[in-house]
Amino acid sequence: MSDTAAKPRRKWLGHPGLSVVIFTTWLLANDSVYIGHIILAALLALVLPWLTAEFWPDAPRIHRPGLALRLFAVFAYDVVIANFRVAILVIGPNARLRPAFLEIPLDLEDSFGVAILASMITLTPGTLSAHVRESDRILVVHALDVDDEAAAIAEIKQRYEAPLREVLGC
């Protein structure tokens, strides 16, 4: 299929992945598969992405899909482990907490990549992306418990940023 043949389909559907999420979420939220809910879910799944299409940036090109899957697996593993670590920290005495703000120098040059990195950090329990200083390309992250700031920064860069750079080719 050529690019010109794919464009009308993409333009009409807007963001097919978002349409699937909207359709599924609507049915799950209503806990119903009645025909009226299915029709409304389908209508919302087609219309909402089409109405918001101008607000969405062009989808990035994934240069290494295998690495993207590996990065997702690492991220999912880290989220599960972080949930247990945060639970232990919260249940235990507060004197053990060592919160810190980390300043992570960014090698990512693509703003979409920076947004993905910041989202991954925020979605991992115990860390929160607080700010991107564009003047010196620093991502400021708050971490709930930091033993060694340099090691924490190196871990984020090695586990998330470096693979993300390769996946997005930037």
Q: What three-state secondary structure class fits 101?
A: strand
Whether the pLDDT of residue 10 is over 60: the answer is no
Pairwise CA distance, residues 34 & 32, whole Å: 6
Instruction: Give me the mean pLDDT over the 41-66 stretch.
Output: 84
Q: How confident is the model at residue 12 (pLDDT cuts 50, 70, 90)?
A: low
Residue type, 65: P
Instruction: Give me the mean pLDDT over the 50-66 stretch.
Output: 80
CB 40 within 8 A of CB 46: no
pLDDT in tens, 135-151: 899 999 999 999 999 99
Q: Give pTM, 2 decimals.
A: 0.71
For 93-112, b where at least 16 C-beta lie within 10 A, e where not — what string? eeeeeeeeebebebebeeee
Report which of 168, 141, 161, 152 is spatially closest to residue 75, judged by C-alpha positions.
161
Pairwise CA distance, residues 130 & 116, whole Å: 14
- The enclosing H or E element of 20 equals helix 16-30
Pairwise CA distance, residues 164 & 168, whole Å: 6
> How does DSSP assign 111-161, residue by residue?
HHHHHHHHHHHHHSTTEEEEEEETTTTEEEEEES--S-HHHHHHHHIIIII
Whether the pLDDT of residue 15 is over 80: the answer is no
Which one is predicted more confidently, 14 or 106?
A: 106
Q: How confident is the model at residue 13 (pLDDT cuts 50, 70, 90)?
A: low
